[in-house]
Amino acid sequence: MSTIFTRIISREIPADIVYEDELCLAFRDINPQAPIHLLLIPKQEMPRLIDAQPADAALLGHLLLTANTIARQMGVGDAYRLVVNNGADAGQSVFHLHLHILAGRAFKWPPG
């Protein structure tokens, strides 16, 4: 099922894209929760992390390494937070896998 993120990938709707390669895309969150708040998404449709299959292992690894690449590019490699909300009760509102990359302020633990 396609989502608003599919339409960002296809450029049907605009986004502030900061990174793209053959497998994934990163853009600024429209409702940022930190000075830097990016969403990193696979181009492949995968509604939730729990839907990942063993065959997706390389893609998932690529997303984590790409988060590192983007964090370094943004100058926040020493302090950033990754968040994946899996399922509505965990706070997921867009059902296309995405990693929130948050940085630029101090973060508390545990998260709310």
Footprint of ligand AMP (CB under 6 A):
4, 15, 29-31, 39, 85, 91-94
* Min separation Cβ 53 and ligand AMP, Å: 21
Choice between 54 and 111, CB closer to ligand AMP: 111
In which element (H, E) is residue 77 found?
none
Distances (CA, A) of 40 to 14, 51, 83, 99: 15, 17, 10, 5
Which residues face 25 on adjacent strands?
20, 41
Q: Note if 37 is an active site residue.
A: no
* Min separation Cβ 78 and ligand AMP, Å: 24
Tokens of 68: 């590192």
Catalytic option among 37, 96, 98, 100: 98
Nearest to 41 by CA among 92, 13, 6, 75: 6
Q: How far apart are CA 75 and CA 35, in angstroms?
A: 12
* Min separation Cβ 82 and ligand AMP, Å: 12
Choice between 54 and 110, CB closer to ligand AMP: 110
Choice between 78 and 110, CB closer to ligand AMP: 110
Catalytic amino acids?
Answer: 98
